Amino acid sequence: MIRLFVNVDHVATVREARKTIEPSPLKAALLAERAGAQGITIHLREDRRHIQDEDVRVVQKGINTKLNLEMAPTQEMVDLALEIRPYQISLVPEKRQEITTEGGLDVCSQEKELSGLREKMHGKGILFSLFIDPDLAQIDACKRIQADSVEINTGKYTELESPQEIARELERIQKSAARAAEQGLKVFAGHGLNYENVEAIAAIPEIEELNIGHFIVGQAIYEGMENAVTAMIRSIARGRGQQS
């Protein structure tokens, strides 16, 4: 079964709209865990638009599974990660003006810097993952810097409407996943996934973990966090051929 890490960023988005204490990302994370999530993901952005520094500390201490901390490769974020010591960091590119992460990290152009950062994280027992577009050159660069895993960006796949374009993008993801696994990298995926489009991604045999947040938090408004997580797990299982 593919592991599901639930991203609770947008619980904090609702809270920050009023700058109050509710809803709580930790409470949402605990409900997600209770429904079967194997881990929790949060993204501490440089502009602190949703998750705050204290959320990272509180969630890290309060959850029962594992914390995947998404962050930009900046000194500020590196220092915080080394202090908090999450299970894993996932490096993502970040632009302050973007609404959400718009693409994968360009590993090819910063191999030396990222390799040094990996060494720092491994020195504290933190796993090192890179969020990248489905591109073979980026996969090879991740191998050269000895990343533990790659998270393949499924954003473009989820935005396309033409069946032909969807098929081509899905093939890119499949080839990238196969290349990463051949290189000895663990393969994750995420961005824009919902109950329907997740099935084709879950069917890719090399993928062992999915990070899904916005859709689950949105569905939680209608049906509750536990029900939304349970339904996503069922969709993933159907894609994997483990459930009718």
Whether residue 23 is preceded by a cis peptide bond, meaning omega within 30 degrees of 0, is: yes
- 242: pLDDT strictly greater than 90: no
What is the residue extent of each domain of the chain? 3-240
What are 146-165's pLDDT values in tens digits? 999 999 999 999 999 999 99
Cβ-contact 96, 46 below 8 angstroms = yes
What are 167-222's pLDDT values in tens digits? 999 999 999 999 999 999 999 999 999 999 999 999 999 999 999 999 999 999 99
- 34: pLDDT strictly greater than 80: yes
Q: Which of 10, 33, 43, 151 is catalytic?
A: 43
Residue 99, pLDDT score: 47
Active site residue 16: no
Mean pLDDT score, 122-144: 97
Active site residue 191: yes
3-state secondary structure of 96: coil
Residue 52, pLDDT score: 96
> pTM to 2 decimals?
0.93
Residue 244, pLDDT score: 43
Mean pLDDT score, 13-40: 97
Mean pLDDT score, 227-241: 97
Q: Which of 70, 94, 206, 209 is catalytic?
A: 70
Q: What is the DSSP secondary-structure string of 158-219?
A: HH--SHHHHHHHHHHHHHHHHHHHHTT-EEEEESS--TTTHHHHHT-TTEEEEEE-HHHHHH
Active site residue 50: no
Sorting pLDDT into bands at 50, 70 and 90, what band is 103?
confident
Q: Which of 10, 94, 169, 191 is catalytic?
A: 191
CATH 3.20.20.70 fits 3-240, yes or no: yes
Residue 101, pLDDT score: 54
Task: Identify which of 62, 4, 60, 61 has the alpha carbon closest to the alpha carbon of residue 32.
Answer: 4
Mean pLDDT score, 43-70: 96
